[in-house]
Chain A
């Protein structure tokens, strides 16, 4: 892989790295060494750019990010009211709030739930709590990937969630990553490190919010380690402002007989990437990676979804739906690798897109890399417009054209919205969708015309 490094971009990050290193000179040795190694990896890699041979970034141009000037001021201030207005909130949930990359104990709302350890990642790092030293950056940070290297170089704070063996939580744990309002642009690298003990189960919600209207850069990294027999129902809501850059990375490793079921809802950012990898590391691990993305204007949304079947008898189901309007661009890059001994695996990939305008573009490339001979697999991708016959059907019943279009777009999103089980969360994504559809339709030009 050939990667060009725009020197200005690395310089900017270098100054910040020097500052962090001097601010954090008393951190435990293991974390200082982790940061140094990651920085050295990033400074060799640089920001990825769109050029021949760089398949991972073929469709996503990061030049606007490379050109952005960041400031490295302290965290801004955010009120509880602002957070409750901007994103989903439920008092019954255990909520951890991370503002500009820093855990906020004032804004977090923890209910002392039995079996759950939920705290600031900074304190877990400083006290080398539990298995933090061996787990942090064990899934994300060692690979040759610029943004996990960058995040690990700046690893400092975020949320730490540990679920005890056999604990089954009734209410979701919600982690909110929020960027405060600011006139200058910030770069933030929040992290969530989470482990689920043997036979445990819980619902995890992550929400990415942005209270600024200026361009911000957020590169959150989520690492989830699942012990045998555990089950996680995961939701991800991404609502950054439309000037911002969001490069999210999720890495999950699953032991035997685990379930990781995830649904993402992505509507925000100028350039957004949702990079998810699940490693089915023991027999009988199952993952479901679903999501809905909606784009308009000049937004760019990139879903980089991959699963490695390392052991036999696992299943993976990747299913994404996109609604695109204006001159927006979306990418679905789904990859499933079935290793040689991962017999009896089942892998399915699907990406369905509804294009509402001529200027919108989708690049969908589902791919299967199979080295085992006894597996079942399927993959497919489609891009279509709202069907004229269907539109006529609705209109013939008296529904006006605009409402009919909205009904059809909403109908397309419905099955993904229905996956959001916690009622408060469902109401939130439903409301955002219903507000978004007229915006998408205002930039639409391909339906209802001859």
Chain B
């Protein structure tokens, strides 16, 4: 599904700003990969580079999604292929209602794929179902997108969008940060209910906490822009116990 080959990325127009320093990673259909790392390791950057955030440029390597290189594609084209990024800090957008915005997103996707647009009636039905499933306050989604939402509400709203858009690869960028246990459980339930042999996840997190609820197939430790260790779910528990300290040496002397 996703193949990352020797990926190097820097901040656009900033010299010596390399953040990703040669990442190799393969995510197969139906797998859940966790990427863990200390602050400043580049894990959030990786999530954003995969989605095509214009603040970063790929300086070397490649990213293949279903065997096609995506690094020259606009973020919306990647979304049309089936990729999704749940943001660590979702944007607040005054005057834009979630309903309208998600309908536009689905319409754009259908148009790009040459499929029929969903009728307003069917979309409304889907939307209402998902609002209930995610447990988001129905009054909230009538307001401006994310404006005045609490941290937990914003993350639930990200889950709502994930549920409606039904991507084949969902990347969660520290979706657990700032969440209380209840909200964390909701995010995890959302992900778990969407797990399927056809859908993959990349869960980026600093703490092992979220992984109590979402059991990953593979865990990667990212330090200083490189993956220094890959293992099974037990690797997350080791990090929880011992911290990231021992991995710094493995990231290279210049790190």
Interface residues of A (CB under 8 A from B): 387-390, 392-401, 403-404, 407-408, 410-415, 450
Contacts and interface: CB of A to CB of B under 8 A. Distances in A.
B75 A395 contact: yes
Interface string B53-83: 1110000000000000000001110111000
A403 B108 contact: yes
Chain B CB within 10 A, most for which of A389, A400, A404, A415: A400
Given A399-B104, A401-B74, A415 B95 contact: yes
Contacts of B79: 395-398
Given A393-B90, A393-B91, A413-B95, A399 B101 contact: yes
Nearest to A411: B95
B109 A411 contact: no
B222 to A, nearest CB: 21
Given A394-B93, A450-B12, 10 more contacts: A388-B54, A392-B54, A392-B75, A394-B105, A395-B74, A396-B79, A397-B76, A397-B84, A397-B105, A414-B144
20 contacts: A390-B91, A393-B87, A393-B93, A394-B101, A395-B52, A395-B74, A395-B75, A395-B79, A396-B52, A396-B78, A396-B84, A397-B105, A407-B96, A410-B95, A411-B95, A411-B96, A414-B144, A415-B95, A450-B13, A450-B54
A403 B144 CA distance: 17
A211 B54 CA distance: 45
A411 B91 CA distance: 13
Chain B CB within 10 A, most for which of A389, A399, A408, A413: A399
Given A390-B93, A396-B85, A411 B106 contact: no
Nearest to A409: B95
Nearest to B110: A398
B12 A412 contact: no
Nearest to B145: A411
Interface residues on B, range: 20 to 34
A389 B91 CA distance: 7
B49 to A, nearest CB: 12
A403 B109 CA distance: 12
B80 to A, nearest CB: 6
B94 A396 contact: no
Contacts of B96: 407-408, 410-411, 414
A162 B65 CA distance: 70
A290 to B, nearest CB: 15
A352 to B, nearest CB: 10
Contact of A398 (B87, B95, B108): B108
B51 interface: yes
Chain B CB within 10 A, most for which of A388, A392, A407, A408: A392
Nearest to A415: B95
A407 B75 contact: no
Contacts of B102: 397
B70 to A, nearest CB: 13
B27 interface: no
Contacts of A399: 76, 101, 104-105, 108
Given A396-B51, A411-B94, A414-B94, A403 B13 contact: no
A411 B93 contact: yes
B75 A411 contact: no
Chain A CB within 10 A, most for which of B91, B95, B165: B95
A390 B55 CA distance: 13
Given A393-B90, A408-B96, A398 B80 contact: yes
Given A407-B101, A411-B144, A397 B165 contact: yes
A408 B106 contact: no
Nearest to B106: A398
Nearest to A400: B76
B161 A397 contact: yes
B101 A397 contact: yes
Contacts of A390: 91, 93
Contacts of B104: 399, 403, 407
Interface in B229-253: none
Contacts of A387: 91
A412 B76 contact: no
